[in-house]
Amino acid sequence: MEIIFDNRQDFLKVDKKLFEKIESVMEACLMYEGYEDDYDVSLSFVNNNEIRELNKNFRGIDKATDVLSFPLLTEDDSHVEFEEYSLGDIVISTEKAQEQAEEFGHSLEREICFLVCHSMFHLLGYDHMEEEEAIEMHGKERDLLNRLGITRDI
């Protein structure tokens, strides 16, 4: 697995430990869904201003959000063999992640790992627009993070 990392923020220092944890989450998501780990994912850390602009441009929502996922799959392609080795792009606001970590009472590391997990499932074709889809996707996220020992306690 190759992570194409672009750190465009100065809110959070990204150390080797955090990066390895992110990589383990990404690889675990692939294995959980039965894929090999020979794909690449673009991961960008940004500030609230940049993610707000991206959210406005791509989703028509003029506010900061925690994470945006840009899968290379279309709805019709989900759960098939990927033609390309790139799954897509994940953009995380580290500022928003910190706000949410404080709100939920867990670490910033845990929140970032959750957001990476959530986005990986989006890149693999999952969504949460309908209640049934949300239940399935959130169940997979919870199960995978629990298997990795990344709980709300950390």
Element (H, E) at 20: helix 16-32
Question: Is 128 annotated as contributing to ligand binding?
Answer: yes
**DSSP calls for 28-94:** HHHHHTT--S--EEEEEEE-HHHHHHHHHHHHS--S--SEEEEES--GGGTTS--SSSEEEEEEEEH
- Dihedral of CA 36/73/66/95: which sign? positive
Quote the CA–CA distance of 88 and 122 in Å, as a whole number.
Answer: 10
Annotated binding-site positions: 118, 122, 128
Annotated binding-site positions for Zn(2+): 118, 122, 128
